Amino acid sequence: MTMTLLIARKEFTEMLRDGRFRGAGAIVFTLLAGALLLGWQNHRDVSAQHRVAQEATRAQWLNQGKKNPHSAAHYGVYAFKPQAPLSLVDHGTDPYTGVAVWLEAHKQNEFKYRPAQDATAVQRFGELTGATVLQLLAPLLIVLLTFNAFSGERELGTLRQLFSLGVSPAQLSSGKALGVAAALGLWLAPAAILGSMAIAAASGQGEVMASAPRMIGMALSYLLYFGAFTGISLAVSAWAPSSRAALMILLGFWMMNGLIAPRVASDLAKTWKPSPSAFDFGQQMQLALAKGSDGHDPGARAKALEAGLRKKYKVDKAEALPVNLLGVRLQDSEDHGNEVFDQSYAALWENFAQQNRIHQMVAWAAPGLAMRSISMGFAGTDFPQHTHFAKAAEDYRRMIQRTMNDELTYQAPNTGAPYLAGNDLWKKVPPFEYTAPGAGWVAEQQAPSLGIVGMWFVGSAFLAAWSARRVRVA
């Protein structure tokens, strides 16, 4: 153990004295700190805008004046997607999903306005976020620090000397790994503290405790990921014929992992599990809405409904019903619509989930994909959490519809006379409150990806140990 620590200390000191490491580390740290700072600023601005908008939409709903409840249902409210505090580290898919959805009668709308549409094409090179630095640049730094761990010693002739002193390969590789970890920690620890402070500042009151488990989950996953990269680098360094070859192989892996695999995975997913075009999706939904899930035309459906009510209340004329027929019909059409929306969106989201499972398959070869998914997950910016919010918003819409239709059904006269409701009714609809799922939910969602990163960590440690034992000394 002391030998391992000795080696670690030597590596650490050597790296600190190396101007290249200091330079590269400083660049990575600056980018990371800058990304976090700007992420925090952006988060603060956008959250404030969303909060103001959410309050305004509520005020508009309450102050809409006297109206028929169904007019109010058409007027509706907007749900604005809140910004998760950790999104300042990883924007994830947020730039590519809409920010708001209109909750109106008869229709489950799509989220509108993807922030990326308000950016230049440079955005597509990738955003400078904490996640970019941690997923792309930090592994590169690890590669540059470790590619010649064994091959460099061999080329200098010091490897033979080391082994002649009785240092075991295991001690050597764990010492080197510890040294790299310590050197990286020197840059990452302050960045982590900075990041936690930013997240704490971004979390509203009482949210800090909710953010903490997510933050810990994210940090641990990144540590596993860095560990995996260190292990791979050490293994390749021990196994490759020369430092140059080791560097080439590792750069190739880094490139494949970070830049090629995400695109290839997307293309494969699109080819194997194609998504419908927005046009076809809309048409299908229209068709289903018009037909009715049971295939009857709406006229017949309405007649059947009326007949059912007459039978239920034992009256022979619609006018004699104790309930307002229009209200019942509207709710019936909502119920039918909800079935259609549930089916359509469930199918679409299942399609995306299948595509994401293909990404996961590719992640066995490129752990960066799994890390990306975990990071977005804990940041609260992945697609599952977008749908989590979308479902909450849709439930709220359905609640509004039911409240409005119930009012019509049981309060409005059945004479066809105009019926106006007011603030009392609007107040019956509670304000829209959304609670993001907890870290446990995320961990469950991300279990396969966490498994992949964990496997890579364990596998790379074994690989490093195995390669170190078989390393050629000259």
Partner 1 sequence: MLLSLMKYEWRNLNADRTPLTITLLLGVALAYGAWNGSQWVSFQRSTIQSALQEETERLRGVRNEIPKVDAGEIKVSPFTDPRLPQALGRGPGARYAVMPPSALGALAVGQSDLYPYYFKVTTGSKQTFLNSDEIENPVHLLAGRFDLAFVLLYLFPLVILACSYDLVSAEKEGGTLALALSQPITLSALTMAKVLPRVALVMTLAVLLPFAGVVLGGADLAADGAVERLLFWMAVTVAYGSFWFALAVAVNALGRSSATNAMALAGLWLLFVVVIPSVLNVAVKVAYPVPSRVELIQATRVAGDAATRQGAQLLARYLEDHPEMAPAERGGIPDFGTVQVAVSEATERAVQPVLDRFDAQVAGQQRIVDRFRFLSPAIVAQSAFNDLAGASAQRYSHFLAQADEYHRQWRGYFVPRILRKVKLSAADLDQLPTFRYREEDLSDVAGRLQIALLGLLIPTLLVVFLGWRWLGRYPIAGA
E-state strands within 23-99:
77-80
DSSP for 245-282?
HHHHHHHHHHHIIIIIHHHHHHHHHHHHSPPPPHHHHH
> Least Å distance between CB 351 and partner 1?
8
Q: What angle do CA 189, 193, 196 make, to 5 degrees?
A: 135
Tell me how far apart the alpha carbons of residues 369 and 225 are, in angstroms, rounded to a whole number: 11
Scanning 11-19, 87-95, 310-318, 463-471 for contacts with partner 1 by CB under 8 A, the matching segment is 87-95
Q: Do 172 and 161 touch, CB atoms closer than 8 A?
A: no
Span of 106-114, 427-435, 439-447, 466-474 interacting with partner 1 by CB under 8 A = 106-114
For 112, which DSSP code? B
Three-class SS state of 359: helix
Given 18, 98, 454, 466, the residue binding partner 1 (CB under 8 A): 98
Under the binding rule (CB under 8 A), the answer on residue 14 touching partner 1 is no
User: At closest approach, how far in Å is the CB of 124 from partner 1?
Assistant: 6
Q: Which range binds partner 1 by CB under 8 A, 347-355, 396-404, 425-433, 451-459?
A: 347-355
Site string for partner 1, 256-275 (x = CB under 8 A): ---xx-xxxxxx-xxx---x
Q: What are the distances in angstroms from CA 51 to CA 79, 133, 393, 429?
A: 11, 29, 16, 19
Contact positions with partner 1 (CB under 8 A) in 395-414 = none
9, 22, 107, 136: which one contacts partner 1 (CB under 8 A)?
Answer: 136
Q: How far is the CB of 49 from partner 1 (least distance, A)?
A: 5
Please report how close the Cβ of residue 42 comes to partner 1 at its closest, in angstroms. 7
- Short-list 256, 260, 187, 195, CA closest to 226: 187
Report the residue from 14, 16, 34, 303 that binds partner 1 according to the rule CB under 8 A: 34
At 470 the three-state DSSP class reads coil
CA distance 169 to 399: 66
Among 26, 197, 255, 447, binds partner 1 (CB under 8 A): 255
Question: Residue 100 in contact with residue 386, Cβ under 8 Å?
Answer: no
Q: Out of 7, 15, 46, 103, point to the residue binding partner 1 (CB under 8 A).
A: 46
Assess contact for 445 and 135: CB atoms under 8 A. no
Interface residues for partner 1 in 431-470 (CB under 8 A)? none
The one among 386, 400, 449, 461 contacting partner 1 by CB under 8 A: 386
Pick between residue 38 and residue 455 the one whose CB is nearest to partner 1: 38
Among residues 371, 122, 347, 93, the alpha carbon closest in space to that of 229 is found at 371
Nearer to partner 1, 253 or 457 (CB): 253
Closest separation in Å from C-beta 437 to partner 1: 18
DSSP character at residue 296 = -
- ∠173-174-180 over CA atoms, to 5°? 90
Smallest gap from Cβ 427 to partner 1, in A, equals: 19
- What residues does 67 pair with on adjacent strands? 421
Cβ proximity to partner 1: between 267 and 297 the closer is: 267
- Residue 41 CB, nearest distance to partner 1 (Å)? 8
Q: How far apart are CA 335 and CA 406, in angstroms?
A: 13
- Binds partner 1 by CB under 8 A, chosen from 16, 26, 66, 117: 117
Q: Scanning residues 284 to 343, which ones bind partner 1 (CB under 8 A)?
A: none
Q: How far is the CB of 65 from partner 1 (least distance, A)?
A: 8
